[in-house]
Amino acid sequence: MRKTILYLVVLALLGFGIYYFIFSNSGSPYSISEAGFAIKDTASIGKIFIVSNDGESVLVERTNAGWIVNKQYKAMPSTLNLILTTFTQQVPLYPVTQKALDNVIKVLSTDATKVEVYDRAGKKMKVFYVGGASVNNTGTNMLVEGAHQPYVVQVPGFNGYITARYTTRISDWRDRTVFNIPDYEIKSVSVQYFDKPINSFVVNRDKDSIVAVQADKQVMTGLEAFNARRARTYLKYFANVNCEGYLNGLQDMNEAIRTAPKDFAIDITGMHGQHEHADVYFMALNKRSKNVTVHNEDVPDDYDPDRMYAVINEYKDTVLVQRFAFRNILHKAYEFYQKDAAPGPKTDPTKPPKNVMMHKRQ
């Protein structure tokens, strides 16, 4: 028992000694100034600049309109939140071992990602270099600018390396919003179906929030009265409609769009004159397409039932969209001239349904 206590005391002193040696400000080459990778006060950050060894870079800046990437795109919240969280959590585990030091220094000097962080006044807060995985793949080799010693850095609770979080690909940083317009800002929505134009329609809303639907006269003949509630609800579906990813620059993408049939087009006009347009095309079946066991009358059999191409942002961007994400938008004209489904009969969940025989226990 006495030996066990002595052993624990020695371990505690050894642990304290290692911590003091590495992280104290006593002038040691392993001081906190060399191992300070964390930024706790992310609210003070005004700008993040990340550049890879091949020269690809992203500039993320805080503005009155939110975070902007490369001075023209809104930043994707999930990517931004991940990197800000990483700033607060990344901690050094230990200095890179002497055995691995030469190789790590070589990689950091030729193949590292440089990260510069500035405060809201434009003053440099921190600069560090992000390398590859540590020898055991549970941490990341990193170096503070001006330091002599690289460290193995880890995010507690995450068993892996964090290099990928410091991406310089613009597609990882761009916000993936296709439409995000509140209903009260919408003046009109036009949906034009090219294969079956009789399903096309226009929903108009005036300044007094009165809605109306324009459609083919054949649609309105013999149908129920106009369902204004459905039209008002429909305008709510244009908030937070996102794409799956950007396809700009992909090989043969222009040819794929040129040869694909156009499925539908959407035009949205805002109360203050703003306009948004999207052309949506069928996507040919490919390796990612799911096996179709049930025929979809809205999708030809040669095309993917779940995904589509869309050209947005004044024809500047081609994106991949999911039909599921557009499900509430893709209504048809006649649906605005139908009654809402009547609610089912109310039942008492404590009583058995009628015509069902209950068996008594024997």
pLDDT at position 339 is: 86
Q: How far apart are CA 262 and CA 71, in angstroms?
A: 32
Nearest to 86 by CA among 119, 58, 48: 48
Q: How far apart are CA 57 and CA 60, in angstroms?
A: 10
CA atoms within 13 A on the CB side of 6: 3
The vertex-323 CA angle with 250 and 238, nearest 5°, equals 100
Q: How far apart are CA 12 and CA 29, in angstroms?
A: 23
pLDDT at position 244 is: 94
Q: Could you tell me the two tokens for 44? A: 């003070």
Q: How far apart are CA 65 and CA 235, in angstroms?
A: 24
Task: Please list the residues that pair with 276 across neighbouring strands.
Answer: 268
pLDDT at position 27 is: 36
pLDDT at position 21 is: 42
Phi, psi of 99 (to 5 degrees): -65, -35
pLDDT at position 127 is: 96
pLDDT at position 163 is: 95
DSSP line for 25-69? SSS-TT-HHHH------GGGEEEEEEE-TTS-EEEEEEETTEEEE
Buried b / exposed e along 163-175 (16+ C-beta atoms within 10 A):
bebbbbebebbbb
- For the chain, give every domain's residue range: 22-173, 177-337
Mean pLDDT by 10 residues, the chain (362 residues): 50 44 40 82 97 95 96 95 97 92 92 97 96 89 93 92 95 94 96 95 92 88 84 96 92 90 97 94 85 73 92 94 95 91 55 44 38
